[in-house]
Amino acid sequence: MSETNAQPLWAGRFADKPETQALGFQSSIAVDKRLAHDDIRGSRVHAAMLEKQGLIPPETASELDKELLAIAEELENGSLCIDMGAEDIHSFIEGELTRRLGDAGRMIHAGRSRNDQVAVDFRLYLKRTVLALCGEIRETIAALLDKAERYAEAVMPGYTHLQRAQPITLGCHLAAWACALKRDRGRFLDALGRLDECPLGAGALAGSGLPLDRAATAKNLGFKRPTLNAMDSVADRDFALELASAAAITQTHLSRFCEDIVIWASEEFKFIDLSEKWSTGSSIMPQKKNPDFAELIRGKAGRTAGNLVALLTTLKGLPYAYNKDLQEDKEALFDSLDTVALCMRMFRGMTGSAAFNTERMADACNGGFLEATDAADYLVRKGLPFRKAHEAAALVVRDCIDAGQRGIAERTLEQLKERSPLFDAGIYDAITPLACVRARKTLGGASPDEVRRQIAELRRDIEAPSYGNHADT
Ligand code: ARG
């Protein structure tokens, strides 16, 4: 490990040595150390530009480049450790360069401020990690769609108010989850499109008096273009807000899916049997098999919502341009993105290894009068106004309840005709759970063929090239 280079970059202005506690308080190295490789990447491109613009000699530029590469490699192989006494990752890397190269190291910061440096590092980091996160979401969607296809005909009750409502299929339910994740992925990609501008060269807040080539650094760092305004470049964190929001929404979706799973895993429902590998037991109740993983994913929605609110609150009162408060941005967003990425993997593991109890789901379609809407629709097809059809079907349901019967099909045709003469023998085939589901052929409906069409469309979406297409050009 290198000896501490905790001498702040700004030490020259001060006669007094900084108070150790105070320095520690304002250090961000514990959080921003994960930007090391992005910082090195940005520094290499900056140094090359300085050389091209005649601001540093070619020998210095190649020395800097070589040493930056060496630092990256040493960090990678563990022969160099990040000095936790450094103020931040930018100070650490620059300090290393100076320690190794002397004056050559001291040349790299020309035309640059840590304000634009942190902004560019943060964006570079996000561009690579958010794309990876989108890959996690895409894999989760793909896994859900495979299952949705497999269970396209598996009837189960659909619920509103957690009361049995109408028959659907498990395939329809899983495709609904996939739709939500598709939009989540889109939100991340949209945000990436907007943050794809390079703040490097904005300096502290007002640009530089040195002849920097911002278009070159933007291009060489893989950005679509340089940012438009220097002050905005160092003050803006709405890219972090957008991503924190996308993360909170995604995690909220996962949380809702997990709530379904917790309910389905209960003894009362028994729609799903979670693998023992993805369940936990109780320290006191020997019989317990708990859906802890689903609960924990659900619980983590609180964290991601909290991170979003924390970021919004931090930004709210800040005067333009940079303020140290902005240093609080990374911890919140890193945590949200880490959380969502991890939970995506956990969710896939848990659902991929679970057994769906389709018999139990089919059984649950009987007894709750889920066929009542279809009985009313039957009469509508015969010409009865819907409100009258609804009333006739409601009376049939009441008759059943009074007679202790669990389904409309238990009534004889004569009994049904007492409520509407339009009932005929065809009603019995029209109100089986599968018939109810098959009838729902409207766009977006629960019929197996329609759900298969939805699955195909969702598959096309995740197979299309993502980033470029979604870029906000
Ligand atoms: N660690 C700082 C941050 O994350 C870097 C920028 C510091 N700039 C400054 N003027 N103090 O925001």
Task: For residue range 324-381, list pLDDT tens digits in order.
Answer: 999 999 999 999 999 999 999 999 999 999 999 999 999 999 988 999 999 999 999 9
Is 114 touching ligand 1 by the criterion CB < 6 Å? yes
Domain contains 468: no
Domain contains 420: yes
Catalytic option among 161, 208, 420, 447: 161
Residue 65: pLDDT above 90? Answer: yes
Distance 328 CA to ligand 1 centre (A): 10
Name the token pair of 289.
């098999």
Statement to judge: residues 351 and 390 lie in one domain: no
Distance 90 CA to ligand 1 centre (A): 9
| pLDDT (tens digit per residue) in 25-61 | 899 999 999 999 999 999 999 999 999 999 999 999 9
Is 115 touching ligand 1 by the criterion CB < 6 Å? yes
* pLDDT for 472: 35
3-state secondary structure of 406: coil
Statement to judge: residues 392 and 434 lie in one domain: yes
* pLDDT for 357: 97
236 close to 322: Cβ distance less than 8 angstroms: no
* pLDDT for 6: 60
Concerning whether 282 is annotated as a catalytic residue, the answer is yes
* pLDDT for 169: 98
Residue closest to 61 by CA, chosen among 70, 50, 71? 50
* pLDDT for 375: 95
| Confidence band for 410, pLDDT divided at 50, 70 and 90 | very high
Residue 3: pLDDT above 50? Answer: no
Statement to judge: residues 189 and 289 lie in one domain: yes
Is 237 touching ligand 1 by the criterion CB < 6 Å? no
* pLDDT for 473: 33
Distance 113 CA to ligand 1 centre (A): 9
* pLDDT for 281: 75
| pLDDT (tens digit per residue) in 411-463 | 999 999 999 999 999 999 999 999 999 999 999 999 999 999 999 999 999 99
Distance 324 CA to ligand 1 centre (A): 6
Give the count of beta carbons closer than 10 Å to the beta carbon of residue 390: 18
Is 196 touching ligand 1 by the criterion CB < 6 Å? no
Please, what is the angle between helix 36-52 and helix 89-101, to 10°?
Answer: 60
Domain contains 473: no
How far is residue 233's CA from residue 38's CA, in Å, rounded to a whole number? 17
* pLDDT for 11: 76
* pLDDT for 22: 82
**Domain-ending residue, one of 91, 110, 129:** 110
Statement to judge: residues 345 and 282 lie in one domain: yes
Mean pLDDT for 145-151 is: 98
- How would DSSP label each residue in 354-403? -EE-HHHHHHTTSSS-TTHHHHHHHHHHTT--HHHHHHHHHHHHHHHHHT
Q: Which atom of ligand 1 is nearest to the CA of 88?
A: 1
Q: What is the CATH number of the domain that holds 419?
A: 1.10.40.30
Residue 147: pLDDT above 80? Answer: yes
Residue 161: pLDDT above 60? Answer: yes
**Domain-ending residue, one of 78, 110, 142:** 110
Give, as one character, the DSSP assignment of residue 212: -
| pLDDT (tens digit per residue) in 107-131 | 999 999 999 999 999 999 999 999 9
Q: Which atom of ligand 1 is nearest to the CA of 89?
A: 1
The DSSP bridge partners found for residue 159 are 164
**Domain-ending residue, one of 320, 336, 359:** 359
Q: State which residues form the domain around 378.
A: 372-460
Whole-number mean pLDDT of the chain? 94
* pLDDT for 467: 58
**15-24, 299-308, 369-378, 390-399: segment of lowest average pLDDT:** 15-24
Angle at 358 between CA 353 and CA 360, to 5 degrees: 115
Statement to judge: residues 101 and 119 lie in one domain: no
Statement to judge: residues 433 and 449 lie in one domain: yes
Is 88 touching ligand 1 by the criterion CB < 6 Å? yes
Statement to judge: residues 85 and 156 lie in one domain: no
108 close to 47: Cβ distance less than 8 angstroms: yes
| Confidence band for 24, pLDDT divided at 50, 70 and 90 | confident
Statement to judge: residues 169 and 275 lie in one domain: yes
Domain contains 86: yes
Angle at 42 between CA 41 and CA 44, to 5 degrees: 65
Statement to judge: residues 346 and 414 lie in one domain: no
**Count of the separate structural domains present in the chain:** 3
Domain contains 366: no
Statement to judge: residues 348 and 376 lie in one domain: no
38 or 281: which carries more pLDDT confidence?
A: 38
Statement to judge: residues 264 and 397 lie in one domain: no
Question: In this prediction, what percent of the chain has a pLDDT beyond 70?
Answer: 97
How far is residue 117's CA from residue 319's CA, in Å, rounded to a whole number? 20
Question: In this prediction, what percent of the chain has a pLDDT beyond 90?
Answer: 88
Is 94 touching ligand 1 by the criterion CB < 6 Å? no
Closest-CA residue, ligand 1 atom 7, reads 114
| Confidence band for 277, pLDDT divided at 50, 70 and 90 | confident
Domain contains 465: no
| pLDDT (tens digit per residue) in 191-236 | 999 999 999 999 999 999 999 999 999 999 999 999 999 999 999 9
Look up the pTM and report it.
0.92
Q: What is the CATH number of the domain that holds 328?
A: 1.20.200.10
Give the count of beta carbons closer than 10 Å to the beta carbon of residue 430: 17
Catalytic option among 282, 336, 420, 447: 282
Statement to judge: residues 306 and 436 lie in one domain: no
Sequence-distant (≥ 6) Cβ neighbours of residue 46 within 8 angstroms: 108, 111, 112, 200, 217
Is 118 touching ligand 1 by the criterion CB < 6 Å? yes
Domain contains 282: yes
Q: Which helix (H) or strand (E) holds 159?
A: strand 155-160
Sign of CA dihedral 8, 13, 19, 25: negative
Domain contains 470: no
How far is residue 249's CA from residue 304's CA, in Å, rounded to a whole number? 8
Distance 51 CA to ligand 1 centre (A): 25
Q: What is the CATH number of the domain that holds 34?
A: 1.10.275.10
